[in-house]
Amino acid sequence: LRFRLAGYPRKHNEGRVEVFYNDEWGTICDDDFTLGNAHVLCRHLGFVAATGWAHSAKYGKGVGRIWLDNVNCAGGEKSIGDCKHRGWGNSDCSHEEDAGVICKDERIPGFKDSNVIEVRKMLARVGSWCCPDPTEHTGWEAPCVTPGTGQGARPAHAATGRVASDTSTATGHAGHGSELLSPHRLVTERQQLNYRLHSVSCTGTEVHLSMCSFEFYRGNTSAACGAGMPAVVSCMPGPLFTAGNAHKKKQRQQQQGQPRIRLKGGARVGEGRVEVLKSSEWGTICDDRWNLLSASVVCRELGFGSAKEALTGARMGQGTGPIHLNEVQCRGTEKSLWNCPFRNITQEDCKHTEDAAVRCNIPYMGYENLIRLSGGRSRFEGRVEVAVGAGDGDQPRWGLVCGEGWGTLEAMVACRQLGLGFANHGLQETWYWDASNVTEMIMSGVKCAGHEMSLSHCQHHGTSLSCRNTGTRFAAGVICSETASDLLLHAPLVQETAYIEDRPLHMLYCAAEENCLASSARLANWPYGHRRLLRFSSQIHNHGRADFRPKAGRHSWVWHECH
């Protein structure tokens, strides 16, 4: 049995329940439905429990068979098939009675979701895998290098087909976008290695090595791969992760004149809502049939590795404007998302609650080891401490950042470098947090654009420190958050409602008190005469994943009689 959530409007952890039985997707009738049923179904879907259920096709009517009716679960069953019901396919319901569930937004640890790949577990299991002797013709061939000669097992021009595909998969889940097979001299010692895999064979479309065919060594692995060597790949980082701007300039030149793609709403590098540019307008992608293959094409097109998550249900926030694409079905070999088959959207197909998003594998750069927080009440807040002089095996020297000029943009970069999401606040004074044993100020004049991956990439004074107040109370601090609000003005409404009005001055006293009029209004002959005003309505929408809270708490708000 396979299960999925469908319908709209919905979040990623709720929806109409659909079950795949007898090679056909179908729904469940809401007759006699209980919270116990929802608990069992939510566990099928990878959530720890249910918080509610929905009747009468709240998430829209399904199509096809109604597989189950009069389902009655106690709540502890391992499968919905273990619950009492009328029998598969035996129902007197219509699709107007399709049942839905609302699951608790907490995943079962270790649950295998077809749209999520867990990389670390696989890497921990693998160890090294064997590259056979050049004289043999099984498994890996091209990445093998004969010791001491630098000669590959195959000529360089033959490094295509399966071997290039294997390497593409290996470098993809390591977070690298491109692959480079290794014809160079391999300087290595024949140390005792613990081999786990051999005969690895990938097509190149896999997002992770665990999806390729391979064989495990059994028993005594120390004697394995006697005639071969460890498989070797050399990865090339994408343009975001290379030193200098030459690569970025080249990338921009390559992208000119082509349809463009971007990620929005993500807190970390390599994650976000997928947006595409079509007919000079940015729009989103509907999550129908959205999977790891299509997500990996997006990630590689943007210079990242393969995808580790294909997210549905607007998990990275809802976009605005048009929804350009639906039912994107990439094979995994495409260079661009625009080369994949897709269906153009119609008004009824999708809503922004179904916007697709991705989390990509990115190269490990170690930036998070050069920054830490101290003194805060939780791991998401504290005084910023940075490390300098950590190269060439030296012990890093930790110090504080001057709070002068420190603001939201700098806090955004710090929270990103820490891996803690968005910035709620950038603080110029941190006297109210506990002091650590780090008291020296070692960085000042930090000025970030907001997109940098490390504070060291922002402008700063370097070794010539310049800070008026060097005490620890004036050190920079941050408060980070996994989610954030995202306020967007509804611009078309402003355009549609704008008009000119001549308004008498005696009706504008409140506007004058709140400085809403031009400075020349002070010279007017109050209360006689009038002012010519541009009037319009406005709406501001929050498309983020957190409530918007004003900077000033409500205890400091001032009541004004004009309001």
pLDDT profile of the chain (563 residues), mean per 10: 82 88 92 93 93 90 91 92 92 92 87 58 45 41 32 30 50 56 42 75 82 79 73 78 52 54 89 91 90 93 90 87 91 90 76 91 88 92 88 78 94 94 91 84 92 91 87 92 86 93 92 87 90 92 81 79 65
Instruction: Say whether pTM exceeds 0.75.
Output: no
Q: Residue 102: helix, strand or coil by DSSP?
A: strand
Cα gap 45→111, rounded to integer Å: 9
**241 CA to centre of own chain:** 17
- pLDDT score, position 547: 83
pLDDT computed for residue 155 by the predictor: 30
pLDDT of res. 485: 85
Distances (CA, A) of 240 to 10, 292, 452: 34, 22, 10
Q: 103, 12 in Cβ contact below 8 A?
A: no
- Judged on CB neighbours under 10 Å (0-12, 13-18, 19+), 180 is middle
Three-state secondary-structure class, residue 93: coil
DSSP 458: S
The Cα–Cα gap between 71 and 41 comes to 11
Q: Measured between alpha carbons, how far is 474 from 429 in angstroms, rounded to an integer?
A: 5
User: Could you identify the residue written with the tokens 């005469």?
Assistant: 529
Q: How far apart are CA 339 and CA 328, in angstroms?
A: 10
**Residue 251 and residue 236: Cα distance in Å, rounded?**
14
Helix (H, G, I), strand (E, B) or coil at 337: helix
What is the rounded CA–CA span in Å between residue 17 and residue 141? Answer: 47
Burial tier of 138 (Cβ tally within 10 Å: 0-12, 13-18, 19+):
exposed
Determine the residue type at 70: N
